[in-house]
Every structure is written in C-alpha cells, then in structure tokens.
Amino acid sequence: MTAKPVDATTHHKISELGQRVLSGGHISRDEASWLFNLESSADILDLLSWANRIREQFKGNKIHLCSIVNAKAGACSENCSFCSQSSHYQTGSPKYGFVDPEPVTEAADEANKNAVTAVGLVAAWKGLNEGPMLDEVCDRIRELKAGGKTRPDASLGIIKKQEVANRLKEAGLECYGHNLESSRRFFPNTCTTHTFDDRLETIGYLKKAGIKICSGGIIGMGETREDRCDLAFELKAIGANVVPVNILNPIPGTPFAKNEPLPVMEILKTIACFRFILPRQEIMIAGGRTVNLRDAQSMIFMAGASALMVGNYLTTLNQPVEKDLQMLKDLGLDPNWDNHDFSDQEEGGCGCGKESCETEAVAG
Ligand code: SF4
C-alpha cells in the first residue's frame, strides 16, 4: 500500500469556494477549472460534500423528475456523432412518424402515477417550421396541458423563427429542451450539419417567447475537462433553468461507438463542478446514468444533482421507475412538486450566450 500525504491546502480552498457559493457568491472560470482538475479521491469527496450542501441550501430535499416520449423516431437528417437516430449511421434504431395522441396520454398517466413533474415530447429531426407539423405538435401540447396530469415540455430541434416559439408558448409549452451538447470549441466534433450558434439562436427565440430552457450536454464524447467547464459557463450565460447532464452511452454504428467510458469519480466530480457553477439550476442526470454509474447512481445527489430523468430514454433502457423512487425514498429525497415554476432561480440573459449579457430575460 502506498500512503499519500493529505494536502490540507486543497481541503481549505474547496471549503472556501463552497462557502462562497452557499453565501450567494459565484466562482470564476479559473476557480472552476481548478475544481474540474482535482485528482485525488479525498479531494473529490470533499468537493461532493460541498456540492451536496449547496444542493440542500438551494433545493432542499426536492428532486425534480422528468420523463420523455419519443414523439418521432429515427431517420434524422443531422449527423450528431453520439446519436442512434441519425440517418447517417447504421444503428438499427426504430423509425416512425409523429405520434398520435394515445401514447402521449399514456405517458402522462404513467408520469402522474410516479410523481413525475414533466413529460417531454422529443422529435428526431433537424427542427420545427411553421406548417401542418407545427399544428400537430401544438395539438399534442394542448392535449397534455388540458389533461392536467403533467407539465408539457418538448424537445423539437432548431427553431428559425420567433413565430414558431410563440405558437408553442400559446399552445401551453412551458419548457423546451435544447442541449448545447458541449463547449463551442468541441461542438464541431459532435455535429457538422448545424452549428453551436444555430442552437443559441433557437434558445434566444424560446426565451423571448417566455419559455423556460432545459439545456445541458453530454460528457464522455472525448471532450476535455476545460470543454466541460466552458459548457457549464455557457449554460449559466444563457440562463438555462434545467441542465441535463448526459453521460455518453456509446451506440454501435455511431462514430463514438468505441469511446472509452469516463471513470465514475470523473462523472461525479463533473456533476459537483456544475453544482458549484449553477447553484440554483435543476441539474438533471439524464441519458447514460445506469450504464455508466451502475451501483454509484445514488451518489449523484451527493454530487449536487437535483433532478432525474426517469423511465426509458429515447432508444436505450433505464432502470425501472419504481427502483428510482425507492432510491429517493431511501435517501430522504422528495420527488413531489405541486407546481415547479422555477421561481427559485435567478434569470440569466436573453439567451445570446454571452457572459456579459445585460439584457433582461423575459419572465415566463
Ligand atoms: S441528436 Fe437530435 S438532431 Fe442530432 S441526430 Fe439525433 S435526433 Fe437528430
């Protein structure tokens, strides 16, 4: 056995940063980068315990649950290197057109039974334009809203016109999922059929329409720690309300099929760093949780996560919802939200992605 001396200076510095965030302060890009580069498990566990305190201070014991319905599957024109639904790769993933009302109603019933706050309609296509498809999407959102069993959310790709975002808002959409995926620097490694700026532009239209933003990324795609750090600061700048952290589940047939999985401690450290940078946001652990974290899944809450994607993912399986609900119960965490309207969060800028943005966000 090799004994390692304990570096008390690092312990004090983590505590100082944690205390600052608890008191309502912020950490700088350099300070965050230092946290992302912690190596020893003793230091990472210190970091987790502070991230846990920050979560408790700003989120109490509430955990926000979301689920998704794959509303249009496969045959997507885009070439996102992690995605089994892209038409550029041979993955054997299912393909079907936009769903009828029944599967959406069933998903809402299931969500309601399991204390799930929101159901997101997710479509595998480049984006949404005005026309019959937008009418159909708005119908599904209206039906979900009228059912009163769950908050209707959606993730429908790139939007190029303010009118489209306004129509979604009028139909009753409250929150739109649109990940930045990674840092601006790494983004071209993940996709070349649309740009990082296309994504920021979409978020700008949504914010202007008064729709809340669910935006995060995927880790384990080959990006560096600096890329993860930059992603967290971009998400802070756009004023994301929910920040999904997906962990790459390499799909055979996609360009990332042979990526090395991230070590569990690296994943937990990343979640904790996100909590330090985004203290009031819902940090949601989404795709790739079961396959990458295995027995360490419950540690995501100690790392600062305050939200969980439950039920099956778009094309891969998750652990049963009952098991997730039991995990929350065992940890003394409560998934029941009467009305989660994000009023506990500070609003960011207009969605332009600039850290210096002083434009007031439109309240939802
Ligand atoms: S991530 Fe979305 S846009 Fe990219 S290929 Fe998959 S379904 Fe298409």
Maximum CA pair distance of the chain?
67
Half-sphere exposure of 251 (CA within 13 A, CB side): 21
Whole-number pLDDT of residue 360: 41
Section 331-341 average pLDDT: 77
| pLDDT bucket at 42, cuts 50 / 70 / 90 | very high
Residue 344 has pLDDT above 90, yes or no: no
The encoded tokens of residue 246 equal 């997906």
Q: Look at ligand 1, atom 5, and give the residue with the nearest C-alpha.
A: 86
Question: CB burial class (10 A; 0-12, 13-18, 19+) of residue 2?
Answer: exposed
Whole-number pLDDT of residue 39: 93
Report the nearest atom of ligand 1 relative to the CA of 76: 8
The encoded tokens of residue 253 equal 């047939």
Section 285-311 average pLDDT: 94
d(Cα 284, Cα 305) in Å, to the nearest integer?
6
Whole-number pLDDT of residue 338: 62
Please give the span between the terminal C-alpha atoms of the chain, in angstroms, as a whole number: 57
Q: How far is the CA of 151 from the centre of ligand 1 (A)?
A: 23
How much is the CA Rg of the chain, to the nearest whole Å?
Answer: 20
Using a 6 Å cutoff on CB, does residue 71 contact ligand 1? no
Whole-number pLDDT of residue 361: 38
* % of the chain at pLDDT higher than 70: 90
Section 69-88 average pLDDT: 84
Using a 6 Å cutoff on CB, does residue 78 contact ligand 1? yes
Whole-number pLDDT of residue 317: 61
Compute the mean pLDDT over every residue in the chain, rounded to the nearest whole number.
87
Whole-number pLDDT of residue 179: 96
Residue 291 phi/psi, 5° resolution?
-70, -30
Residue 359 has pLDDT above 80, yes or no: no
Question: Ligand 1 pocket test: which of 68, 72, 77, 80 has the largest number of ligand atoms within 8 Å of its C-beta?
Answer: 80
Sign of CA dihedral 289, 272, 268, 301: negative
Using a 6 Å cutoff on CB, does residue 123 contact ligand 1? no
In this structure, are residues 200 and 187 in contact, taking their beta carbons and an 8 Å threshold? Answer: no
**What's the DSSP call for residue 100?**
P
